[in-house]
């Protein structure tokens, strides 16, 4: 970046003051929280994240320095919230992915349910497709999530979106296309679970281990250098 395009020291100072103000507002909103999903806290959080990001960028552009903290933002996953300030209804959208890791276990569990609950008829539990239909018809999704290993399933990614709405939907209104109205700009909060996060944590641990190994090697080399003159004298 050229000198002409660099922010001034006053601009950096003003950005720092904005962070302090946003930090005070965030603390005030937290202290006055009216519930777990208080929109005032959500808004103050976003303002603090935006102020911190601006300060970090100006600080780097002006002084080639960064802040020692990072506030997670929502811009990478969701656009800014544009739903009603006081929602009168909400939708909870859930997706959970599974892999059929042990088909025989899945079939065996479905056959037990079929033998206990159904009288005669077709042998539906003899295929994976039929077994899945029986198990998901018999058990609630949350129970399957907690007992997935018993059913021969392996967890994949999952996400839960809480979407705000102006008014409750009419009965049957969205059943033909249940997920078409999942507007990211109306998401109040979301919760994601993925092995990707575990891999990122493992990568960080490996990096720390590598740094520790490098430091140990440097210490060992330094100790060897210190001992060389003593060994030479003994010869």
Can you tell me the distance from the alpha carbon of 110 to that of 114, in angstroms, rounded to the nearest whole number? 6
Query: What pLDDT is recorded for position 234?
Result: 38
Can you tell me the distance from the alpha carbon of 133 to that of 226, in angstroms, rounded to the nearest whole number? 72
Going from N- to C-terminal start, the domains of the chain cover 3-63, 89-193, 194-235
199-214 exposure pattern, b = at least 16 Cβ within 10 A, e = fewer: eeeeeeeeeeeeeeee
Query: What pLDDT is recorded for position 151?
Result: 95
Query: What pLDDT is recorded for position 72?
Result: 53
Query: What pLDDT is recorded for position 1?
Result: 46
The neighbour count for residue 9, using CB atoms within 10 Å, is: 11
- Give residues with Cβ within 8 angstroms of 184, minimum separation 6: 78, 79
Render 180-226 in DSSP notation, one character per residue: TT--GGGEEEEEEE-HHHHHHHHHHHHHHHHHHHHHHHHHHHHHHHH
Can you tell me the distance from the alpha carbon of 29 to that of 22, in angstroms, rounded to the nearest whole number? 10
Q: For tokens 């060897």, what's the residue?
A: 224
Query: What pLDDT is recorded for position 127?
Result: 92
H-helix or E-strand spanning residue 97? strand 89-100
Can you tell me the distance from the alpha carbon of 109 to that of 148, in angstroms, rounded to the nearest whole number? 11
Can you tell me the distance from the alpha carbon of 203 to that of 192, in angstroms, rounded to the nearest whole number? 19
Strand order of the β-sheet with 153-165 is 89-100, 153-165, 187-193
- Encode the chain (235 residues) as per-residue pLDDT tens digits: 445 578 899 999 999 999 999 999 999 999 998 877 788 888 888 888 889 889 988 998 999 888 877 655 444 456 778 888 888 999 999 999 999 999 999 999 999 998 887 665 567 788 999 999 999 999 999 999 999 999 999 999 998 889 998 889 899 999 999 888 788 888 888 888 888 776 666 666 666 566 666 665 665 665 555 544 444 443 3
pTM above 0.75, yes or no: no
Query: What pLDDT is recorded for position 77?
Result: 58
């Amino acid at each position: 970046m050229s000198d002409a395009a660099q922010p001034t020291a006053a601009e950096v100072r003003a950005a720092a003051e904005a962070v302090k103000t946003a930090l005070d507002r965030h603390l005030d909103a937290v202290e006055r929280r009216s519930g777990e999903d208080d929109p005032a806290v959500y808004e103050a959080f976003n303002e603090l994240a935006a102020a911190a990001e601006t300060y970090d960028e100006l600080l780097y552009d002006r002084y080639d320095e960064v802040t020692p903290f990072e506030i997670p933002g929502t811009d990478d996953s969701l656009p800014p919230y544009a739903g009603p300030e006081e929602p009168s209804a909400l939708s909870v959208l859930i997706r959970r992915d599974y892999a059929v890791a042990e088909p025989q276990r899945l079939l065996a569990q479905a056959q037990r349910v079929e033998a206990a609950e159904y009288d005669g008829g077709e042998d539906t539990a003899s295929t994976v497709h039929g077994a899945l239909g029986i198990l998901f018809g018999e058990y609630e999704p949350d129970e399957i999530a907690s007992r997935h290993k018993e059913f021969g399933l392996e967890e994949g990614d999952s996400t839960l979106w809480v979407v705000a709405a102006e008014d409750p939907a009419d009965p049957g209104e969205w059943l033909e296309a249940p997920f078409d109205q999942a507007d990211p700009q109306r998401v109040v909060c979301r919760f994601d679970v993925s092995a990707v996060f575990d891999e990122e944590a493992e990568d960080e641990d490996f990096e720390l281990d590598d740094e520790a190994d490098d430091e140990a090697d440097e210490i060992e080399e330094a100790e060897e250098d210190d001992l060389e003159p003593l060994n030479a004298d003994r010869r």
